[in-house]
DNA sequence: TAGAATT
């Protein structure tokens, strides 16, 4: 039986970029817990219209295996290389049976605050609680957090809407949180000495005999893309990780010339005092740069805009740098705690998520708001976005003004006092 | 030989 002929629905286990995919809700990517028809995905893969990635072939193999074996619901992995299981609905998926309102959000930008997290997820529905996890000593974000909704439907909507959202240089991951327990902590392994040819899928295959893999990763050279021979495996439970160390440390993977080393990964928040000191005193805080850093950044920005658009950035506060935080100065877009951007010509069905999607990649966004008609609840054609940093806001405006969204051309500028109030 | 995944 060909996969193309199979109408069976699978549940996507992770967010997969697939721009040519179009679901019945017009989503352009495969998203966590999204029901996916096998034939749709398979035809895209085989047609080559979905750019091949290292795990693409394995997706086909996995689907073919599942077809020949018949339906089962064994989730031995939810990493990117085994994105599908053959449970027919998210409700049957073992990973979410315990909680339907509490989400874990991973891969958040380093400088994202809890308020920004709440603002982002609050655009979906009412939040019961929200927490950004921070290092207890330094207060620095650990890059993940939790969002607990009042309504399970909003949690599901948040996964469908926000999983895979690009924020600055990160692609966030939104999934149901497992119930917290000691047994799931410290289950992350660091693996070194891997053959440079080993794929992520092969790494998972090697380790999956010891338990359910939550995430896997092989580090690669940023320039060449070649494996650095080291990686991480996160198991569902600590005991599974312990068994994997016993079974695989100092062992040669099939076909490998050298044995691998498998041990518990260091906790990234446990840094030496030296590293902490250098981090605290040497790295400039992007959010609150000193005057010199601000001027340097704006100088670069002005050059950038000049080169790109042949104009000086019209609203650059260079001339009055240093007084931008004083009250009573009328600077377009400056809204006390950030830069307010006016977005005009949005469609009636526009919602907050589209503003996050458009502006999030440009930098720290603290708030978005679609202005709606009180009676119809439809967008009145405009909205506002607040960004923390002037430079990032200016680049976003330069990039998105004139952007075609659907059949509309957007007008994007710093908010002025003459126009609508947020 | 190094990622920010359980509050």
pLDDT by residue (tens digit) across A279-304? 444 433 333 333 223 333 332 333 32
Tokens at residue A81, please?
A: 């290389």
Last residue of a domain, one of A94, A114, A146: A94
Give the pLDDT confidence score for residue A381 in this predicted structure: 96
Return d(Cα A191, Cα A213) in angstroms, integer. Answer: 14
Give the pLDDT confidence score for residue A333 in this predicted structure: 76
Give the pLDDT confidence score for residue A271 in this predicted structure: 54
E strands, A80-226, where?
84-85, 102-106, 127-134, 141-149, 166-167, 170-171, 173-176, 188-192, 213-220
- Strand B contacted by A217 CB (< 7 A): yes
- Strand B contacted by A353 CB (< 7 A): no
- Strand B contacted by A166 CB (< 7 A): no
Q: Is residue A259 part of a domain?
A: yes
CATH number of the domain encompassing residue A216: 3.30.70.330
Query: What's the gap between Cα A74 and its chain centre?
Result: 26
How far: A72 CA to B7 C1' (Å)?
33
Give the closest nucleotide to A234 (alpha carbon vs C1'): B5
Q: Is residue A383 part of a domain?
A: yes
Q: Is residue A209 part of a domain?
A: yes
E strands, A259-338, where?
261-264
Give the pLDDT confidence score for residue A36 in this predicted structure: 47
- Strand B contacted by A137 CB (< 7 A): no
Q: How many residues does chain A have?
A: 422
Return d(Cα A221, Cα A391) in angstroms, integer. Answer: 30
Give the closest nucleotide to A143 (alpha carbon vs C1'): B4
Nucleotides of B under 7 A from a protein CB: 1-7
- Report the nearest residue to nucleotide B6, CA vs C1': A180
Give the closest nucleotide to A110 (alpha carbon vs C1'): B4
Q: Same structural domain for residues A322 and A405?
A: yes
**Maximum separation of any 2 CA atoms in chain A, in Å:** 72
A143-A146-A149 Cα angle (round to 5): 150
Q: Is residue A314 part of a domain?
A: yes
Give the pLDDT confidence score for residue A337 in this predicted structure: 78
A102 has which bridge partners?
A148
- Strand B contacted by A132 CB (< 7 A): no
Q: Same structural domain for residues A407 and A310?
A: yes
Q: Is residue A284 part of a domain?
A: no
Q: Same structural domain for residues A48 and A116?
A: no
How far: A320 CA to B7 C1' (Å)?
43
| Domain that residue A19 falls in | 3-94
Give the pLDDT confidence score for residue A99 in this predicted structure: 76
Residue A341 contacts residue A359 (beta carbons within 8 Å): yes
Q: Which residues of chain A, if any, have pLDDT below 50? A: 1-15, 17-28, 32-97, 272-274, 276-330, 419-422
Q: Is residue A62 part of a domain?
A: yes
Give the closest nucleotide to A130 (alpha carbon vs C1'): B7
Q: Is residue A105 part of a domain?
A: yes
- Strand B contacted by A190 CB (< 7 A): yes
Q: Same structural domain for residues A88 and A112?
A: no
Q: Same structural domain for residues A88 and A120?
A: no
- Report the nearest residue to nucleotide B1, CA vs C1': A192
Q: Same structural domain for residues A159 and A207?
A: no
Tokens at residue A92, please?
A: 């049957």
DSSP calls for A32-57: TT-EEEHHHHHHHHHHT-S---TTHH
DSSP calls for A361-413: GGS-EEEEEEEE-TTT--EEEEEEEEES-HHHHHHHHHHHTT-EETTEE-EEE
How far: A190 CA to B3 C1' (Å)?
9
Return d(Cα A246, Cα A329) in angstroms, integer. Answer: 66
Give the closest nucleotide to A266 (alpha carbon vs C1'): B2
Q: Is the dihedral of CA A403, A405, A410, A412 positive or negative?
A: negative
Q: Same structural domain for residues A174 and A205?
A: no
Return d(Cα A143, Cα A186) in angstroms, integer. Answer: 17
CB-based contacts of A228: which residues, under 8 Å, 6+ apart? A218, A219, A220, A221
- Strand B contacted by A229 CB (< 7 A): yes
Q: Same structural domain for residues A301 and A402?
A: yes
- Strand B contacted by A110 CB (< 7 A): yes
Q: Same structural domain for residues A410 and A295?
A: yes
Q: Same structural domain for residues A176 and A188?
A: no
- Strand B contacted by A102 CB (< 7 A): yes
Q: Same structural domain for residues A24 and A122?
A: no
Last residue of a domain, one of A149, A180, A211: A180
Q: Same structural domain for residues A89 and A115?
A: no
Q: Is residue A347 part of a domain?
A: yes
- Strand B contacted by A111 CB (< 7 A): no
Give the pLDDT confidence score for residue A402 in this predicted structure: 93
The model's pLDDT over A33-47, given as tens digits with 9 standing for 90+, comes to: 444 444 344 444 444
Q: How many domains does chain A have?
A: 4
Last residue of a domain, one of A264, A299, A318: A264
């Amino acid at each position: 039986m060909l996969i193309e002929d199979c109408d069976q629905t699978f549940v996507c286990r992770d967010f997969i970029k697939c721009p040519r995919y179009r679901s019945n809700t017009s989503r352009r990517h495969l998203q966590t817990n999204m029901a996916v028809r096998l034939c749709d995905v398979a035809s895209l893969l085989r047609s080559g219209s979905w750019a091949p990635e290292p795990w693409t072939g394995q997706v086909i193999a996995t689907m073919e295996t599942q077809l020949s074996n018949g339906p089962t619901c064994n989730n031995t992995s939810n990493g990117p290389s085994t994105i599908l299981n053959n449970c027919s609905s998210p409700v049957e998926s073992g990973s979410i049976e315990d909680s339907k309102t509490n989400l874990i959000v991973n891969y958040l930008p380093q400088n994202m605050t809890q308020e920004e997290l709440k603002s982002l997820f609050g655009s979906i529905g009412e939040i019961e609680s929200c927490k950004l996890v921070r290092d207890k000593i330094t207060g620095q974000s650990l890059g993940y957090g939790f969002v607990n909704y009042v309504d399970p439907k909003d949690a599901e909507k948040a996964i469908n809407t926000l999983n895979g959202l690009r924020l600055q240089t990160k692609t966030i991951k939104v999934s149901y949180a497992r119930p917290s327990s000691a047994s799931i902590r410290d289950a992350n392994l660091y693996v070194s000495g891997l053959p440079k040819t080993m794929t992520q899928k092969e790494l998972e295959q090697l380790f999956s005999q010891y338990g359910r893999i939550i995430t896997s990763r092989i580090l690669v050279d940023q320039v060449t893309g070649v494996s650095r021979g080291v990686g991480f495996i996160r198991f569902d439970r600590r005991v599974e990780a312990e068994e994997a160390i016993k079974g695989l440390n100092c062992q040669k993977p099939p076909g490998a010339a050298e044995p691998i080393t498998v041990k518990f990964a260091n906790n990234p928040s446990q840094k030496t005092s030296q590293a902490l000191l250098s981090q605290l005193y040497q790295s400039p805080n992007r959010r609150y740069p000193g005057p010199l850093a601000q001027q340097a950044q704006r100088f670069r920005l002005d050059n950038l805009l000049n080169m790109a658009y042949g104009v000086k950035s019209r609203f650059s506060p260079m001339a009055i740098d240093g007084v931008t935080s004083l009250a009573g100065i009328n600077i377009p877009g400056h809204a006390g705690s950030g830069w307010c951007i006016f977005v005009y010509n949005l469609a009636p069905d526009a919602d907050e998520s589209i503003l996050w999607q458009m502006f999030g990649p440009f930098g720290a966004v603290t708030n978005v708001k679609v202005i709606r008609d009180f009676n119809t609840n439809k967008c009145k054609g405009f909205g506002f976005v607040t960004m923390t940093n002037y430079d990032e806001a200016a680049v976003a405006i330069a990039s998105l003004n004139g952007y075609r969204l659907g059949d509309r051309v957007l007008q994007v500028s710093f908010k002025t006092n003459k126009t609508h109030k947020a």
